[in-house]
Amino acid sequence: MKTLSGLTGTEDRHAGSEYRRLFDTTIADTFQQALRIIHSSPDLLLHGTKIAWHQKKAADTRQEFEQQGLFVPPVMIISITSRCNLACAGCYMKQQRLNPAPEMSPDLLCSVIAEAADLGVSVIVIAGGEPLLRKDEILSVAWSFPQILFPLFTNGLMIDKDSAREIATQKNIVPLISFEGFRHDTDSRRGSGVYERLLSSCSVLKKNGIFFGCSITVTHANIARVTDEGFIQGMMEAGARVFTFVEYVPIEPGTGDLVLTHDQQKVLHTRMSALEKQFPALFIGFPGDEEQFGGCLAAGRGFIHISSSGNVEPCPAAPFSDANLTSVSLRDALQSSFLDKIRRHHDLLTEKNGGCALWTNREWVHTLMTEP
């Protein structure tokens, strides 16, 4: 019997196993690289080693569920709020959540993360809006699940001496502060004076011995500047040890000219590899080079997105869902027919001119929710 991808069920399962093992290996290698970076900090190294060990255990758990027919992604992204204290140009959350539903309660949020941990999720990315608007809940779940790594994507403006001291108590939280480049690019998108305030946030994180980094939205206009050695060196002097390059998705109408071209995507991957050899830091791309994994990693192939209201979605840039965690378990949601259809079409979801394949093909993706 043929699946939608054109492979037999057995061949499709085998091919999927191969890319999943590769993805697990990539994650494990990233953890090991992080341990080398923090080797001079005994406290961070101890906690990092425990998390790296758990990653291997979680990978085994995912394989066990895979044998039962349940495909658990190693990475889960939770946008815990759609609220924000900024109004950045081109923000996907601002465009998508014009009438947001009520946020998940603290109890539900904790329950979802507990189930994700049991299923073998290794990394839970905390995003927003501005997630630090729910700081106490972030600190609580990080304390409750020390085996999980929580990268925290934040605009950085709510980080001060007090909050930095609190974050420092949870070694499994890795703040990633949003920069667009140096002062001009950052202030142009995020507001006048934001760049200097972010440097102040970096300073207090560095003084508290926190392993942190920066998140950079890469566009057609700023790619040369944000991959320049001068920018990387400047951010490392500010204390950053992780650089996450997020390719711009033109969710806001009229911003298509900011999307990376196919050639620029190749340049980004090449520059990241070169910078990784030159600087003692992690360089991570999103969505990254998906070709090595056979196509789009969304919909649970590599990661899944949970909206602030509990919708289980393929990707932050694809706000479509047929399951909400207020009424179904995470395990059941991962087995939804909608996500399964996207996974079986992953080889068709390619975006040669940057951006996001799911967003580019959003009309087709939306039809999958109503197909029998």
User: Could you read off the pLDDT of 210-243 as tens digits, one per residue?
Assistant: 999 999 999 999 999 999 999 999 999 999 999 9
Question: What are the CA-CA distances from residue 264 to residues 77, 289, 320 (Å)?
Answer: 26, 12, 28
303-306/173-179 β-pairing: unpaired
Fold classification of 9-86+97-366 is TIM Barrel (3.20.20)
Measuring CA to CA, which residue among 255, 303, 358, 347 is closest to residue 20? Answer: 303
CA pair distance 358, 166, nearest whole angstrom: 37
Would you state the pLDDT for residue 254? 80
CA pair distance 86, 83, nearest whole angstrom: 9
CB 77 within 8 A of CB 306: yes
CA pair distance 125, 143, nearest whole angstrom: 15
CB 168 within 8 A of CB 212: no
Which parts of the chain register pLDDT below 50? Answer: 1-14
CB 311 within 8 A of CB 269: no
Would you state the pLDDT for residue 299? 87
Would you state the pLDDT for residue 350? 61
Q: What are the domain boundaries of the chain?
A: 9-86+97-366
Residues 6+ apart with CB under 8 A from 279: 232, 233, 236
User: Which residues share a beta bridge with 173?
Assistant: 150
User: Which pTM does this prediction carry?
Assistant: 0.91
Would you state the pLDDT for residue 188? 87
pLDDT in tens, 180-217: 999 999 888 888 999 999 999 999 999 999 999 999 99
Would you state the pLDDT for residue 319? 85
Tell me which amino acid residue 57 is.
Answer: K
Would you state the pLDDT for residue 92? 61
Cα 22 to the chain's mean position, in Å? 18
Tell me which amino acid residue 196 is.
Answer: E
For 102, other C-beta atoms within 10 Å of its C-beta total: 9
3-state secondary structure 124-181: EEEECCCHHHHHHHHHHHHHHCCCCEEEEEECCCCCCHHHHHHHHCCCCEEEEEEECC
Residues 6+ apart with CB under 8 A from 336: 312, 322, 323
What are the strands, taking DSSP E only, across 256-311? Answer: 282-286, 303-306
Q: In what order do the strands lie in the sheet with 173-179?
A: 282-286, 242-247, 213-218, 173-179, 150-154, 123-127, 75-79, 303-306, 312-313
Question: What are the CA-CA distances from residue 25 to residues 177, 244, 355 (Å)?
Answer: 27, 19, 26
Residues 6+ apart with CB under 8 A from 210: 164, 167, 168, 175
Structure tokens belonging to residue 112: 């979802």
